[in-house]
Structures are given as C-alpha cells and as structure tokens.
C-alpha cells in the first residue's frame, strides 16, 4: 500500500521531519475514527503575501475562520499542513512559526473555532541553512509526509477526509496520501466550499 511504504520511508534515519506544535493524542484501537479537514495555510487560511511569519502581516482569507468552526461543529478534526521554506531560507525561525500558529489558534478560539494540529515543513533543497537542506524533503509538498504523519498520529478516517489547497502541489500531496482534495481558487473560503457542497451544515 502507498501509505505503508511511505510511512516506512518516513521512519528512515536519513529523513528529517519538521516538528508539530500541538501534543499528539494517545490513540487506541477503540478510539473512533473521525474525518479530517486538511488545510494548506498561505493562500487558503490567510492571504499569501510571501513568507508570512508575523501576526501584523497575517490577514485571514474571507470565510476561513467560519470554515474551521463549521467543520469543528460537524465533529471533524482540522489540521494545517504548510510548507514553510522561509525557515530553511533563514527568513524567520521555527519559533516564529509556532508563535504565529499560537496567535491563529487564539483568534479562532474567539469565534469558537479550533485547529487540532499544525504541521509545517521547513526544509528546502536549496536551503542556505544546512540543518534544513534536504534534496527531496519528505514533508515538503508535493511529498505527502505531513499528511501521512497526521494519519499515523491522529484517529483519522482517511477515506472520509478532505484537503483544501491552492496549489497543484497541495493536491498531489493529498493524492499520494490517499486523501480527497479540492483546489481553492480564491474568494470566500466558506462560500467556495458551500458551492462545492463540501461545507458542513
């Protein structure tokens, strides 16, 4: 299976994996599986203004917070999977990424929304920061590493899950992980998903 072979690759000692910033729950076979909404960050949740790392530069996409809250109410897990090569390029640190994600979480909580986990991929083949240089980073989309890690660490019903991205690389990562996906073309995210009959009611 694609999932099994990819997970074996991710366990390789040669593989560098980016950290997540939420505690991974202790799962058990008895724990019921839930669908997950996988979301790219820049261009889906927030306006992509290029290497966004500070809250003062962060602007929510219209309907993004409402989308997260709607899937929360429907019992879905909501998981962000985002390439962050700005770390590897030395533009900002992983601590900056965590701080921004914490601020996003706080802002979402104000309207009853919640992101269950953030995964980010700081590696890049040409990263000037050696610690983040990798010829083919397994976490960096279009590779499926972040999604596969979430599937192994959370009680996710893969066949019922959905990824929303704004780039072909997002959709390729989802395909390689065996998750359905949709390409967000801009505008109001909640309205876009409603038109696609994908927004929970």
Question: Hey, which residues does 120 pair with through a beta bridge?
Answer: 82
DSSP for residue 37:
E
Tally the domains of the chain: 1
Task: Indicate if 40 belongs to the active site.
Answer: yes
The answer to whether 178 and 158 have CB atoms below 8 angstroms apart is yes
Among candidate residues 4, 42, 96, 188, the one labeled active-site is: 42
First and final CA of the chain: distance in angstroms?
34
Give the domain CATH number at 172: 3.40.50.1000
pLDDT digits 0-9 by tens, 152-178: 999 999 999 999 999 999 999 999 999
Residue 11 lies in a domain: no
What percent of the chain has a predicted confidence (pLDDT) above 70? 85
> 142 versus 19: which is more confidently predicted?
142
Among candidate residues 4, 40, 57, 139, the one labeled active-site is: 40
167-to-37, 40, 81, 114, 198 alpha-carbon distances in Å:
16, 9, 13, 24, 19
pLDDT digits 0-9 by tens, 89-148: 999 999 999 999 999 999 999 999 999 999 999 999 999 989 999 999 999 999 999 999
Confidence at residue 22, expressed as pLDDT on a 0 to 100 scale: 44
Domain with 116 in it: 35-195
Residue 25 lies in a domain: no
Task: Indicate if 126 belongs to the active site.
Answer: no
The answer to whether 114 and 84 have CB atoms below 8 angstroms apart is no
> Taking all residues of the chain, what is their mean pLDDT, rounded to a whole number?
89
Residue 1 lies in a domain: no
DSSP for residue 60:
B
């Amino acid at each position: 299976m694609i999932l099994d072979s990819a997970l074996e690759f991710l366990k390789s000692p040669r593989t560098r994996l980016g950290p997540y910033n939420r505690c991974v729950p202790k799962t058990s076979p008895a724990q019921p599986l839930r669908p997950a909404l996988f979301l790219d960050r820049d261009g889906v949740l927030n306006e992509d203004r290029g290497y966004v790392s500070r809250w003062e530069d962060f602007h929510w996409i219209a309907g993004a917070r409402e989308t997260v809250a709607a899937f929360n109410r429907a019992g879905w897990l909501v998981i962000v999977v985002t390439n962050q090569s700005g770390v590897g390029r030395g533009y900002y640190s992983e601590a900056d990424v965590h701080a921004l994600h914490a601020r996003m979480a706080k802002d979402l909580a104000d309207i009853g929304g919640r992101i269950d986990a953030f995964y980010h991929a700081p590696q890049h083949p040409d990263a000037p920061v050696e610690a983040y240089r990798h010829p083919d980073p397994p976490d960096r989309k279009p590779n499926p590493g972040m999604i596969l890690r979430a599937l192994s660490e959370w009680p996710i019903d893969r066949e019922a899950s959905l990824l929303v991205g704004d780039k072909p690389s997002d959709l390729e990562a989802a395909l390689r992980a065996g998750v359905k996906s949709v390409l967000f073309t801009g505008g109001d995210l909640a309205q876009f998903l409603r038109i696609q009959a994908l927004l929970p009611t």
